[in-house]
Amino acid sequence: MLNLRKRKEEVAQRRQAEKIRSETQKQYKRPRDGEQTSDGAVSGPQTDGDVSAIVRLFQQRRAENERQEAAPPPPVTAPVASVSHKCLQMDFTSLEEDLAHVPVSIHFSSGTDLHNFVVRIHPPTGCWAGGEFDFLFNVPPTYRFDPPKVRCITKPIYHPNISPDGDVCLSILREAWSPVMNIQACIFGLLYLFHEPNSSDPLNHEAGELMATNPAAFRERVRRSLMQQRRTIF
């Protein structure tokens, strides 16, 4: 295997030397032995100087190839804005007008990072009225083909469709998501959870069962959770 590789390298070097020799002869073409030159003189045999010129040219080409191979690759520059970033820019532009009429605010940890932010919801009516609930959004690079990941970071929370750890049971964040949806759809879906909680398909089974069997006791548990509530934001 090594002999075959060495032989291939020797053949490649020989071909390269022949190519350089041919180029050199074209560049420094001289008449064959016995032929007259332009000034009427008769040319003699090829001298050692001609061979040295070919060798020097070969060495220069080889050194140039080695420098090119040793040079570091050019840096890869990131695109100015990804597709998901542009989609988010459009989402937030349209949200500026929509959020003026709903009890929702958006908080960014960085002015340039649109993929991570907190949505704060202030339910105006229902069991959770008067509370403030923060939802952490993490938008993947594949948005809008894939939905954002959303967690409730307000603790404690007592809700049939939100687990004590903050997981959210909302169909549009899972199987019902489609590329035509956007951040606005997610926010209004979260608002709807506080307006119409679903006890028939709970994520917090205890809260779902209590809501279905004893609404008064459920409201009391929610009230106590609001009193103990502590927010965590960036």
The catalytic residue positions are: 169
Closest CA to 161 of 128, 137, 117, 125: 128
What distance, in Å, lies between the first and last C-alpha atoms of the chain? 61
Structure-derived torsion over alpha carbons of residues 20, 26, 27, 32, reported in degrees to the nearest 10: 110
And the tokens for 185?
A: 């759809």
Contact 212, 198 (CB under 8 A): no
CB neighbour burial string for 84-97, b if at least 16 within 10 angstroms, e if fewer: bbebbeebbeebee
Closest CA to 181 of 150, 151, 212: 150
Pure H helices in 71-214: 83-98, 183-195, 205-213
Q: CA torsion sign, 213 to 219 to 220 to 223?
A: positive
And the tokens for 86?
A: 């542009």
Place of tokens 């080409």: 61
